[in-house]
Amino acid sequence: MGNEPYWLAISGDENGPGINGAIMKEAGKGQPVINTITVEDIDTTLSTIAHSGGTIVKPKRAIPFIGWLAFFADPAGNIHGVMQMDNTAM
């Protein structure tokens, strides 16, 4: 995906909900699997995560022409991703 070592793994119909994923470099210690959640507003979501006891592991960054991606740890230490789709991201 661009210059990033990130490869999509599509398991079904791309036009509907499903279990899709990707292969990527480790974002944090103990990362066996990271679920990434599509959100409408990544800035609001990251603020809510931080105020609710989560920790931002990797801050928001642009995935050019795709959207914005960030990673956080929940209060139990599990790492998750959040992604806002935005084809103007640079």
Domain assignment present for residue 18? The answer is no
Percentage of residues of the chain with pLDDT beyond 70:
88
Domain assignment present for residue 68? The answer is yes
Its pTM stands at: 0.72
Number of domains in the chain: 1
CATH for 53:
3.10.180.10
Tell me what the mean pLDDT of segment 9-27 comes to.
72
Domain assignment present for residue 10? The answer is no
Domain assignment present for residue 43? The answer is yes
Cα dihedral angle (81, 52, 58, 10), rounded to 10 degrees?
A: 0
Residue 43 has pLDDT above 90, yes or no: yes
Domain assignment present for residue 71? The answer is yes
Residue 55 has pLDDT above 90, yes or no: yes
For residues 86 and 11, the model is more confident at 86
Q: How far apart are CA 18 and CA 10, in angstroms?
A: 9
Residue 84 has pLDDT above 70, yes or no: yes
Residue 25 has pLDDT above 90, yes or no: no
Domain assignment present for residue 74? The answer is yes
Q: How far apart are CA 78 and CA 61, in angstroms?
A: 20
Residue 17 has pLDDT above 70, yes or no: no
Domain assignment present for residue 2? The answer is no
Domain assignment present for residue 35? The answer is yes
Domain housing 61: 27-85
Mean confidence (pLDDT) of the chain: 85
